[in-house]
Amino acid sequence: MKCPFCNYYDTKVVDSRPTEEGQAIRRRRECIKCSKRFTTYEKTESIPLIIVKKDGNREPYDRNKIMTGILKACEKRPVPLKVIEDIVDQIEKELYNSMDKEVTSQHVGEIIMSKLKDLDEVAYVRFASVYRQFKDINTFMEELKKLLGEEK
């Protein structure tokens, strides 16, 4: 591992421990030449995931987009950030466990909606209104009726 301070190529590992999530190893390293210390993270290589948009364009999976969408849907709702992060982790795990290299944005949206439906109905309706692009009040009411019908 190259030292970020002096660019020397020989370093030694001083300390090694798993991260909180257990998804990576945190290593404290020390440069043999300048004796400065720095931290590196070792992670398993994941399969690159491509999202296929409605218009056919493809883009790399971006966790932040899912997080942002859920945060907007849950704005001013009694949903802790930790719960949102856990949901994003679950969604990400489901996408990567499918072993598909390409996933449609519609599939991702449906997964998000199913998670939000169980979490908070208002957040679910907010997300659905953007995701399903309700054209008028009638389509919005149809979605509400579906939601209310499932609760009976």
22-73 tens-digit pLDDT: 778 999 999 999 999 999 988 876 678 999 998 999 999 999 999 999 999 9
The answer to whether residues 118 and 139 belong to one domain is yes
Q: Give the per-residue pLDDT at 150.
A: 64
Closest CA to 1 of 100, 12, 18, 83: 12
Closest CA to 31 of 50, 69, 58, 4: 4
The answer to whether residues 88 and 17 belong to one domain is no
CA-CA-CA-CA dihedral for 138, 130, 117, 86, to nearest 10: 180
The answer to whether residues 37 and 68 belong to one domain is no
Total of domains in the chain: 2
The answer to whether residues 133 and 69 belong to one domain is yes
pLDDT above 80 for 140 = no
The answer to whether residues 25 and 76 belong to one domain is no
The answer to whether residues 101 and 134 belong to one domain is yes
What does the buried/exposed string (b/e) look like for 97-106 if buried means 16 or more CB atoms within 10 Å of the residue's CB? eeeeeebebe
Residue range of the domain that includes 31: 11-43
